[in-house]
Amino acid sequence: MRNLPGPDPGTPDKRSAVAYLRWLVRRYWRSVYAAIAFAVLWMLGQAFVPAIVGRAIDAATAHNRHDLLMWSLVLLAAGVGQAVSGVLRHRFAVVNFLGGMFTTVQVTVRQAGRLGSALSRRLDTGEFVAIGTSDIRQIGSAIDITARGTGSLVAVVTVSVILLTASVPLGLVVVLGVPLLMAIVGLLIRPLHRLQHASREQQGLLTGRAADLVGGLRVLRGVGGEAVMGARYREESQRLRVAGVRTARVESLLEAAQVLLPGVFLVLVTWLGAHFALDGRITVGQLVSFYAYAAFLVTPLRQLTEAIDKLTRGHVSARRVVEMLRSETDLPDPADPVPAERFHGELADPASGVTVRPGELTAIVAAVPAEAAAIADRLGRYAEGATVDGIALGAFELAAVRERVLVADNDARLFTGPMRADLDPHDRGGLAAALHTAAATDIVEALPGGLDSEVAERGRTFSGGQQQRLRLVRALIADPGTLILIEPTSAVDAHTEARVADRLAEARAGRTTVICTSSPLVLDRTDRVLFVEHGRVVADGTHRDLLACEPAYARTVLREGDQ
């Protein structure tokens, strides 16, 4: 059994939607070509059955027992081969379908991680949700249909050759009629393509609107805007309904054409075959074969039109994926990055004068808390300006910086799912120790299933202080070389805060840690405090030394203590 998805999806081809679909085919070329090969065998087995039956009937009417037995055995072999190839085709087709879906999920989620905070500015919430729900299925279906579409095309060609061999007029009807049918169906594809794209965009906008409503419902009710936003949602949902109805009209015409046109075509083939049999131009067995082919051709013709439909849908979805993959982050990687091995030494922010010495627990206190957060953003390369050992962080690949520096703030969210997977998604271990350090053991013990309990959406069942401690657990388990914490204890009581401060200093001993806070309980446990005013470091020392000699620092932290 093949494990999907693979560990590394590779680098997608984002030049166009067609290029992206071709890249998926190349990535799974073994299973794609295997599915095509078995689909061809599967359809050929069906295509030859009417001809074999016709030969057997001719042998029976001629009382030729040897030929009758031979064609009966050939029919048995064709049936067995068709069954085996059909099972294998389906197996590989499922691999292609799931592979296309999962690989698309991997590359889009990876791109979302690269975009980071820029994701919400580059892509609407609804667009991203739609990619992860509907578009991945359409792309998977487009990869899957290549096998049946190819097999059906080969079957139609094979039947055309067989009919041309038996009767040139009938063969020409098929050879000329099938392209004509496909051309008529193709007339419906272009408007369907356009309408599907418009409906897809409207669906993304409506999904984003729904996400905004759910996320801001409490605020809307507070300001009395619930009715206004509800009316806007109803208006946009009606636009989506109208767009969906327009798309459905063309889709219904396409579905009707898939039944009507092959039906009319097959009536014509059957009528001509019956007249040729009456005139003695074909044998009784060939007449039976023509009737059988009249019924058989429905399947490959419908599958060909289905292939056009699914490839069209897949192209629309792939175009949306490519647009996301083309989105640029606010912090692009350099063309010639510095090797990650040179990432060591003193982390510094020249704009503020902050320097972080390796192995120390450093605190940053700012008269304006937003200034400390801005420094943390630069030190973690969420904004440009910081250096390590004199080298700009922007000279390194962003992934290398993220592996070595972790910025944990109070905007981080808990995710729906088992508590264990939320806190330690990579199963790094050390969960019990991290829970103890963050004074969060009691939170887990109070849950009915402990670490196996389900976390509600955004952790809404936990208080603000509990969420803060659980986020700290997750940051500690990541165990980065440099950990930057922004107000990690602002929502907990003083007793818990003191325990967290003591344990954090012990747990991170010898590791580089930066805490942006003005809490005296935390500051008293740090090795070094940097006091920032007007965006610049104005004092550097221990907490107690700064209390004694820096009045502005004392006012800042003692005000926090009073609160």
| pLDDT of 303 over the 70 cut | yes
Structure tokens of 359?
Answer: 């192995």
Looking at the structure, tell me whether residues 306 and 353 fall in a common domain. no
Mean pLDDT, residues 262-269: 75
Looking at the structure, tell me whether residues 288 and 316 fall in a common domain. yes
- What residues have CB less than 8 Å from 466, skipping those under 6 apart? 440, 443, 459
Mean pLDDT, residues 172-198: 68
Among 411, 374, 425, CA closest to 109: 425
Looking at the structure, tell me whether residues 21 and 106 fall in a common domain. yes
What are residue 19's phi and psi, to 5 degrees?
Answer: -65, -35
Proportion of the chain above pLDDT 90, given as a percent: 23
Pairing of strands 528-533, 361-366: parallel
Looking at the structure, tell me whether residues 38 and 128 fall in a common domain. yes
Looking at the structure, tell me whether residues 316 and 174 fall in a common domain. yes
Q: Are 54 and 288 in contact (CB under 8 A)?
A: yes
What's the distance, Cα to Cα, between the start and end of the chain in Å? 60
CA atoms within 13 A on the CB side of 307: 18
Looking at the structure, tell me whether residues 320 and 364 fall in a common domain. no
In a domain, 336, yes or no: no
In a domain, 245, yes or no: no
Rg (alpha carbons) of the chain, rounded to whole number: 34
Looking at the structure, tell me whether residues 184 and 37 fall in a common domain. yes
- CA–CA gap between residue 199 and residue 355 (Å, rounded): 53
Looking at the structure, tell me whether residues 404 and 490 fall in a common domain. yes
**Binning pLDDT at 50, 70 and 90, where does residue 525 land?**
very high
- Higher local confidence (pLDDT), 163 or 557: 557
Place of tokens 């012990």: 506
**Domain limits at 481?**
342-562
In a domain, 208, yes or no: no
Least confidently predicted of 176-185, 403-412, 425-434, 448-457: 176-185
| pLDDT of 204 over the 70 cut | no
Structure tokens of 331?
Answer: 């912090």
Mind listing the pLDDT tens digit for each residue in 26-65?
888 888 899 999 988 888 888 777 777 777 777 777 777 8
Among 314, 14, 25, CA closest to 192: 314
- CA–CA gap between residue 14 and residue 22 (Å, rounded): 10
Looking at the structure, tell me whether residues 256 and 366 fall in a common domain. no
Number of domains in the chain: 2
Task: Give the domain-ending residue among 285, 302, 326.
Answer: 326
Q: What is the CATH number of the domain that holds 471?
A: 3.40.50.300
Mean pLDDT, residues 517-534: 93
